[in-house]
Structure 1
Amino acid sequence: MNLETFKRDIKTRYRTLGTNDIDAKVSSLIGSLQNEWAVSPDALSLQELKTFTGAMIEEEGLSLYSELEELIAQKERIERQIARKSEELQHLKYNLFNAVEKQIGSNDETLERLHQVKLQSIDLLEILEEITESAVITTLEKGSDIEETLEEIIKEITFESLNANVLNAIRIRRILASILQSALNVAEATPNQADLILRGTLRGIHTALIKSIDKFRQYLLYVPEEVKALYRDEYKTIEMELDNVDTLFTQIFHGLKSHNNAVIIQKLEHLNEEIATSSDELSRLSKETVELLRNRLARIKRGVTARGNRLLQSKSAQEAKAMGARAWSVAKSAMEGAIKGAKEVIDKK
């Protein structure tokens, strides 16, 4: 049987049937199989049956396909507009921080703080919840390997958002809280899938934290002392956070309690305890990184010494400050990487 001819014939016949009754249309076409093609419906091969039903679906759903294509086109136009506006916003922030830097003077400590604020501000964290929620919903719609798929997606989003070379205590809490809040929103709306959603999300976060801390540890091994001098206070804060990583989730959960159902937060806490109990890798790696941080920070002397002044005026230190001028593109690439990674995981399923 020539499948192309078969499909064309079915579509032509379906189009000419003068009724809106689907049962009547199907009955007529089933009859034509025997009369025109001399084949019984139960004798159709898998490919022939697929061609037969596919031709009917295409004809019956023609108007819906057109509407769907138009909606997709509208969605793509909106996405392009969002992308343009997001980039404009990034440029606006970039120009604003440049203007502030010009006016704020040359005090190294002030510029250091401004640089840290800049790194925290110029990215797409404001839409992190929407990105995560969309990824979770898409995974549910796909309907297979939900927990495993979510773990991979959340790992990608979390890791790229954390930007491990500038690991920041406040940033970590904000990112994890945003991602967990998105998962909680969807879990509450789909209680039958709540365990899978929350467990997959938590596992993804744990995996991303391990990956980020390990990357940060490698960064500490090779980053110049001049750069460490600029981030001394920030690194001390990170040291305290890593030293108490076991309580990180407890504190985040406490913050989520104020605007979430107590029952689902208890479920979240229980699942997190299960994951933490099954592996001590996060705790172990955090302790190792704390020791490394302490050793590195011990070498950096705070104060206005001749060597300290040389460090702050050195080429490496100046390059570290200049990172702010590239912050928007780095942050943009990081979030785009997260979205791309998430889409790739979804598309594979």
Structure 2
Amino acid sequence: MDNILEDITNQHSFLKLLPLHKFYQEMNEDDNKTIESNSTCKTYIISSQSAANNLIELCQKAESILKSLERSFLDESKNSDKERYCNYFKYWLNFNANKIDKGSHSYNYNMLYRSIMTYNITLEQKYTCNNITDIGSDKNDFDETSKKLFFLTESLYWLRKEYSVSNKPETSSILNYLGYCTDFYNKILCTQKCNENARYRLNLEEFQEEFNKTNEHLLKLPELKKEELESPIQHKCKEQPLPLCNLETRAVEWAKFSIPDVDDYYDYRMGSGLSTIMTTVTFSIIIIFLFLLFLYKFTPFGSSLRNYLQRKNRIRNILNEFTNKFLRKYENNEINSENRTYSIPYKYEQDF
């Protein structure tokens, strides 16, 4: 279990019933599972290099988790949140990979991700992670504040989804958790300097959006009233008379740190899905083209297609020839008809 998530759930025990906590528990249980028969970890990772054993162990555990996810996605209720679970897996994987000393052997790190993506392809497509191709980015931050924001945000999502009037923990437990979230949000914005909290801007915006959605949902429950959070850029530090990052200068100060750090992070989060889609589409088009070329050159399908196209061309040529002859004949008839018409009055005038 992740230490930060465990600390949060120990303080707010009802969160242990939510899928986020259960998912991390299941990942820990995978430690004792056997190695998958079609594992590719030792195929790609060079065992003679330093840190190879740790990377192979992590790789094999990741394969076990992906296999568990494949089985769990058979449940439609879980399959509806498939992308979210896959993002948890990627977050877990990148965090654990970053803990291993990379040293000068970046090749094995690349092979770690290649092994996992290769294994993922072997699973049933309908019940596996579709967005696994963008793992391995070093854009994610895994410091304590970033991780805590991540776990609090995801817990808010599941709190909104899982609990209703007929199914909820004690009101005091929910209020304590919402207060805990508010205090942490306020602490980041009001007790850190602008050049420190600017890096969390995207995380804070996601947190604020999730908090307000959950707060609105929980307002349906009796005795629950909690103010919405202001956006990070507009948040007022009411209980902090002299905040280190005050409201008047926050936007200006944050703008200084948005290039390239924050903008790159935005580009990564917003563009990773698009780049994955574009890569997949391009690769698919190339494969289809090569497959058709192979059929055309080296199989009976190619000769059949050529015969079909030749017959089609012959028919088109015959039709064109027939059409041209018909049009020429029609034009000649029209000319002759006009001559006869004009000659009649001329002859009539002579006779007259």
**TM-score, normalised on structure 1?**
0.28
**TM-score, normalised on structure 2?**
0.28
Which of structures 1 and 2 has the larger relative contact order (alpha carbons within 8 angstroms, sep 6+)?
A: 1
**Counting helix residues as a fraction of each chain, which structure ranks higher?**
1
Q: Which has the larger Rg?
A: 2
